[in-house]
Amino acid sequence: MTIAGERLAGFAAWLDRSSKAWRSPCGDSVPVGRYAEILPWDFDELPTVDFAEHALPLFVPMDQATGVALPADADLSHPPGQLRAFHRLSHIVFRLEDARLALSPPWRATDDRLPLCAVIGLTDPEMTLWDAVDAAGGADVDLDAFPLLAVPLWAMAPKERAEISGTLPFLPD
């Protein structure tokens, strides 16, 4: 497995931890949907548009996902108990900025720092993923070192797209 694959596996594990049901004060289990879903994809193809409004699909090149433990079936339904996709994506980018600076807040576990990934925003569902990566300025990402996450921004509200565009693309150093 490449360094990018190891980092993607660490990111997938973080997503799993962020998608677990929790116990209410009364002891009931509170279901929680997927925080985000990693989708291995052929970047020469168009991305899928078949996902619920607040699902957060993260397209990654097929080669990078080889050997990474991912759910058997992608859950692209509405994620109960999760914030809007925009807020979850903003949180991921914020955590990646901390990781780039090697910041680890004292209230977090030492293994809770996200591994560095590149994040590219997709603005047009009619553009192949490689074309979108090139258009966003991500053509120089070292795919052996960093997972490349492509996020469909077209599914977000115009206000959300405008706000997140100031932080994307996120390209690790």
In one letter, which amino acid is 106?
Answer: P
* Secondary structure element (H or E) that encloses residue 62, with its range: helix 62-65
Q: What is the CA radius of gyration of the chain?
A: 16
Average pLDDT score, the chain: 93
Measured distance CA(89)–CA(103) in Å, rounded: 19
pLDDT computed for residue 111 by the predictor? 64
Q: Domain map of the chain by residue range?
A: 3-15+32-164
Instruction: Dump strand ranges (E) for the chain.
Output: 22-23, 29-30, 37-41, 57-61, 118-122, 148-152
Cβ-based neighbours of 96, under 8 Å, separated by 6 or more: 114, 116, 117, 119, 170, 172
126-133 average pLDDT score:
97
Measured distance CA(156)–CA(152) in Å, rounded: 8
pTM, two decimals, is 0.93
Measured distance CA(148)–CA(150) in Å, rounded: 6
* pLDDT tens, position by position, 30-48: 989 999 999 999 999 999 9
